[in-house]
């Protein structure tokens, strides 16, 4: 099922700069999206993903996980809007 998602990650309890977390997410997008056949576009308030349902959700999960694990952030807010078509 073709899925279009827009997601935003919000690291909680960190300083005002989030550029290091954006860089971590960009690394995940650059490596995982081609493998999972997901297209992405980053924008000022998040990232758009286009691909199959499970693949899109896997990319969102990996992006969230990298902020938690490599970024060392204990709390990460995640907002996702999704649209599907057959």
5-47 pLDDT tens trace = 999 999 999 999 999 999 999 999 999 999 999 999 999 999 9
| Rg of the chain over all Cα atoms, to the nearest angstrom | 12
How many domains does the chain fold into? 1
What is the per-residue pLDDT for 58?
99
Task: Return the pLDDT at 9.
Answer: 98
What confidence category does residue 60 fall into, taking pLDDT thresholds of 50, 70 and 90? Answer: very high
Q: What confidence score (pLDDT) does residue 76 get?
A: 98
Would you state the structure tokens that stand for residue 21, as one six-digit string? Answer: 């977390």
pLDDT value for 11: 97
**Structure tokens that stand for 8 in this block:** 């935003």
Give the domain range for residue 55. Answer: 2-85
C-alpha dihedral sign at 19, 26, 8, 77? negative
Tell me how far apart the alpha carbons of residues 5 and 57 are, in angstroms, rounded to a whole number: 9
The pair of three-digit structure tokens given for residue 27, joined into one six-digit string: 């690394």
Tokens 């999960």, located at residue: 61
CATH number of the domain encompassing residue 43: 3.30.70.930
């Amino acid at each position: 099922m073709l899925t279009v998602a827009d997601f935003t990650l919000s690291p909680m309890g960190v300083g005002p700069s989030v550029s290091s977390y954006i860089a971590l997410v960009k690394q995940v997008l650059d490596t995982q999206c081609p493998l999972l056949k997901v297209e992405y576009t980053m924008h000022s308030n998040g990232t758009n993903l286009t691909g199959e349902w499970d693949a899109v959700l896997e990319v969102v999960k990996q992006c969230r996980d990298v902020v938690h694990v490599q970024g060392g952030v204990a709390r990460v807010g995640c907002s996702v809007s999704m649209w599907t078509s057959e």
